[in-house]
Amino acid sequence: MPAAVLDPTIHAPLRLQICAMLAAAHTIDFATVREMLDVSESVLSKHVKTLEEAGYVAVRKATSGGRQRTWLAMTPAGRKAFAAHAAALRALVGEVGEAAE
Amino acid sequence: MSSTPEHDSRSALELLQATNRQMAERAEPPRWYHPTLGLMLGGLAAVQDAPFVWRIVYPIACCIGAGLMMQAYKRHTGMWIPGYRAGRTRAVVAILVGLYAAIFLLAAWASFDLHLRGVFLIAGALIAVLGTAAGYIWQWAYRRDLDAI
């Protein structure tokens, strides 16, 4: 049975949460992600940049209601990588559970 | 790529599930959202019994209304989730579209072939209730989709 492998770009807790949020929606406002994660703008920017450089997240700026908002969306490659990562997590936890029985 | 110890994977999976629960709560629209959407959909059928001009004006107003609702949802939740997203939610939308078409065609048949009056109004009322219910069912299906991860 092939070993389940985790994507190190996604696996860091904050990036895992960002990916989970983006996988569950089409687009999310940067400010909403920051509020939900309760982190500073600079910390979130750093993690978003990592995901963007990996080609997993797309960043778009748009003016809405007279103010500029930054919208984050997961790319198809990001969705694929996140789905594989979540499946690997489930497999690892499942394998450990089976081994313990 | 690397393997991680058991506790790391388990805590990551728990973190993922907690984030999904948080997302499901955050994605709840304002109270008026589903009833308004239901009324808009029902109106599209009901307006067929109205004078011709309304049959042109109402769908245009609906398109503008849909755009405004999308903006309101984004403002309220800080995100956008397409109704036709993959998962159980897509089945809810497909069933709603199928039922909408069936009711609309039945009303058209009763109105044009049987010359019954007011059937589009009844169809519109039925679709409004159905559309509102579908909104709440969609929300439930979304929560289930996120719970399943």
| pLDDT tens figures, B85-125 | 989 999 999 999 999 999 999 999 999 999 999 999 999 99
pLDDT band of A1, cuts 50, 70, 90: very low
User: Nearest C-alpha of chain A: how many angstroms from B137?
Assistant: 17
Residue B145 CA to residue B96 CA, distance in Å, equals: 18
> Does the distance separating the beta carbons of A31 and B12 come in below 8 Å?
no
> Does the distance separating the beta carbons of A27 and B79 come in below 8 Å?
yes
Residues in A touching B85 (Cβ below 8 Å): 26
Q: What interface predicted TM-score (ipTM) does this complex get? A: 0.87
| pLDDT tens figures, B29-68 | 999 999 999 999 999 999 998 999 999 999 999 999 999 9
Residues in A touching B24 (Cβ below 8 Å): 24
φ, ψ dihedrals at B30, nearest 5°: -60, 160
**Domain chopping of chain B, boundaries:** 6-147
In this structure, are residues A33 and A21 in contact, taking their beta carbons and an 8 Å threshold?
Answer: yes
Burial profile B33-49: b = 16 or more Cβ within 10 angstroms, e = fewer? bbebbbbbbbbbbbbbb
Residue of chain B whose alpha carbon sits nearest to that of A8: B1
The closest alpha carbon to A36, from B9, B21, B14, belongs to: B21
DSSP B118: S
User: Nearest C-alpha of chain B: how many angstroms from A14?
Assistant: 10
Residue of chain A whose alpha carbon sits nearest to that of B4: A6
DSSP B47: G
CATH fold group of domain A8-94 = Arc Repressor Mutant, subunit A (1.10.10)
φ, ψ dihedrals at A63, nearest 5°: -90, 125
The token duo for B138 is 């969609």
The closest alpha carbon to B89, from B127, B129, B42, B134, belongs to: B134
